[in-house]
């Protein structure tokens, strides 16, 4: 794969996360425009987008393997752009919810299709995943920064229109640069991974559990950080642009962790590295739950570093344990289950904060991280995989 294609696929990841978080960054302005007294009352209307982001991954992954990843990425670029323009045209919370559902459906394409396409022939898959994760997180940072600026100077609708036009422009470039596929992944005969079915199933279950806990933490933090930042820095910072800049800095610093993890994934075993990161993640949330002001801001940088550091592992496990001919389908199923469950975080965020406060939310996130630690301990180690493969290849005596 040439460098231009790699850049376009990484930019697509950035846009995927950017679009899903414009609403969260602009929810205060949207609620005011729609006549709602509190931003918390607007948050449930975005739940459908995250539900479709998860559930849509199953058909997206299946079409990626069977119909072609290039075709599905073209649907992604133009579908995301058009649906974002539709969001900008909404006038009521119900219209907003419907448009966001459509946006969520198109956003479901990238992870089960774009990432397998990117790592399909990667020499260093860990590093490739790390760079891709960094791009996605920079999209999150850009959402916070650009949305804060555009909302303040032009209004929340322009915050959707500008990235929509960028997305469709990149789609045209992708159509020009991406070569036609000689065969769909499902019809490819080149096996990249062979592993006993029992270990594949066990690994898949670990993938689902850890992807769910990671996604819950990702959704709670990325959708709640804008309001959490305003709450914890109340009396210190109030300007929307400054808050957006501070939040973008949190995401930018945290996202660098994915480069470090990506490099480590090509050199060390997945299991001990993942366990260590999740333990530190748990401790970081516990510390953040007890602080405020600038002390909380430093703690927020710490827990976002750990949230982002955990993200590459789901894709790394797919590359390490799943054959390329079915990676999109496995990724789609894993994402559908994990994001289907974790989308509840978006629905519960407003009511939970309204009832119990942000301190309780961060304590809950520490418990979710601890659940992920327990799941990873069940992941097959490299030695177990080698023994199972050797046993499977041993001829059975007659």
Burial of 237 per CB tally in 10 Å (0-12, 13-18, 19+): middle
Which pTM does this prediction carry?
0.74
Residue at 15 is within a domain: yes
Number of domains in the chain: 1
- Burial grade of 158 (CB within 10 A; 0-12, 13-18, 19 or more): middle
141, part of any domain: yes
The CA–CA distances, whole Å, from 298 to 25, 68, 220, 277, 353 equal 20, 44, 18, 18, 21
Q: Tell me the C-alpha distance between 104 and 98, whole Å.
A: 10
- Residue 398 forms part of a structural domain: no
- What pLDDT sits at residue 315? 82
For the record, the structure tokens of 305 come out as: 């570093």
Question: How do residues 192-240 score in pLDDT, each as one tens digit?
Answer: 556 667 777 888 888 888 888 888 888 778 777 777 787 778 778 777 7
d(CA 32, CA 369): 34
- Decide if 352 is inside a domain: yes
Q: How many helices (H) and strands (E) does the chain have?
A: 16, 0
Mean pLDDT (the chain, rounded): 83
**Residue 107's domain spans which residues?**
3-393
278 lies in a domain?
yes
In-domain check, residue 358: yes
Q: What percent of the chain has pLDDT over 70?
A: 90
Q: What is the pLDDT of residue 6?
A: 92
CATH of the domain at 262: 1.20.1250.20
Q: How many CB atoms lie within 10 A of CB 192?
A: 14
Is residue 40 in some structural domain? yes
Lowest mean pLDDT among 100-109, 158-167, 281-290, 310-319: 310-319
Distance CA(298)–CA(288), nearest Å, equals 9
CA-to-CA distance for 18 and 12, rounded, in angstroms? 10
Q: What is the DSSP letter of 27?
A: H
Residue 96, number of CB atoms within 10 A of its CB: 22
What average pLDDT does this structure show over 313-335? 80
Query: Which string of DSSP letters, residue by residue, matches 245-297?
Result: HHHHHHHHHHHHHHHHHHHHHTTS-HHHHHHHHHHHHHHHHHHHTT--HHHHH
Q: Are 163 and 146 in contact (CB under 8 A)?
A: yes
Q: State yes or no: pLDDT of 299 exceeds 70.
A: yes
pLDDT tens figures, 157-178: 999 999 999 999 999 999 998 8
Nearest to 137 by CA among 47, 48, 221, 52: 221
- Encode pLDDT of 28-57 as tens digits: 889 889 888 787 778 788 888 888 888 888
């Amino acid at each position: 794969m040439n460098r231009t294609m790699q850049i376009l696929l990484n930019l697509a990841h950035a846009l995927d996360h950017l679009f899903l978080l414009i609403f969260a960054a602009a929810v205060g302005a949207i609620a005011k425009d729609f006549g709602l007294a509190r931003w918390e009352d607007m948050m449930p209307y975005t739940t459908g987008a995250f539900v479709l982001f998860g559930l849509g991954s199953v058909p997206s992954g299946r079409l990626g393997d069977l119909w072609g990843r290039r075709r599905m990425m073209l649907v992604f670029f133009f579908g995301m752009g058009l649906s974002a323009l539709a969001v900008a045209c909404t006038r009521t919370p119900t219209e907003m919810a419907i448009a966001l559902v459509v946006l969520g459906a198109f956003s479901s394409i990238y992870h089960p299709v774009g990432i397998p396409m990117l790592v399909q022939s990667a020499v260093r898959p860990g590093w490739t995943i790390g760079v891709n994760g960094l791009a996605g997180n920079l999209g999150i940072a850009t959402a916070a920064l650009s949305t804060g600026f555009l909302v303040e100077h032009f209004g929340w609708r322009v915050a959707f229109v500008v990235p929509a036009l960028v997305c469709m422009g990149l789609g045209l470039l992708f159509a020009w640069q991406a070569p036609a596929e000689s065969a769909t992944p499902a019809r490819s005969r080149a096996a990249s991974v062979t592993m006993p079915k029992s270990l594949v199933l066990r690994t898949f279950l670990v993938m689902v559990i850890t992807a769910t806990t990671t996604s819950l933490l990702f959704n709670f933090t990325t959708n709640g950080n804008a309001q959490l930042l305003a709450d914890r820095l109340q009396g210190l910072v109030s300007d929307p642009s400054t808050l957006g800049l501070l939040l973008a800095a949190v995401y930018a610093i945290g996202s660098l962790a994915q480069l470090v993890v990506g490099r480590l994934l090509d050199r060390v075993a997945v299991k001990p590295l993942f366990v260590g990161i999740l333990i530190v993640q748990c401790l970081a949330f516990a510390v953040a739950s007890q602080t405020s002001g600038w002390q909380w801001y430093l703690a927020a940088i710490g827990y976002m570093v750990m949230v982002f550091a955990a993200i590459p592992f789901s894709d790394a496990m797919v590359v390490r344990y799943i054959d390329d001919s079915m990676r999109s389908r496995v990724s789609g199923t894993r994402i559908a289950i994990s994001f289907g469950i974790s989308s509840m975080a978006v629905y519960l965020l407003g009511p939970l904060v309204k009832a119990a406060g942000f301190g309780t939310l961060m304590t809950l996130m520490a418990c979710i991280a601890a659940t992920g630690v327990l799941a990873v301990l069940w992941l097959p180690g490299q030695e177990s995989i080698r023994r199972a493969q050797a046993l499977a290849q041993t001829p059975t005596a007659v």
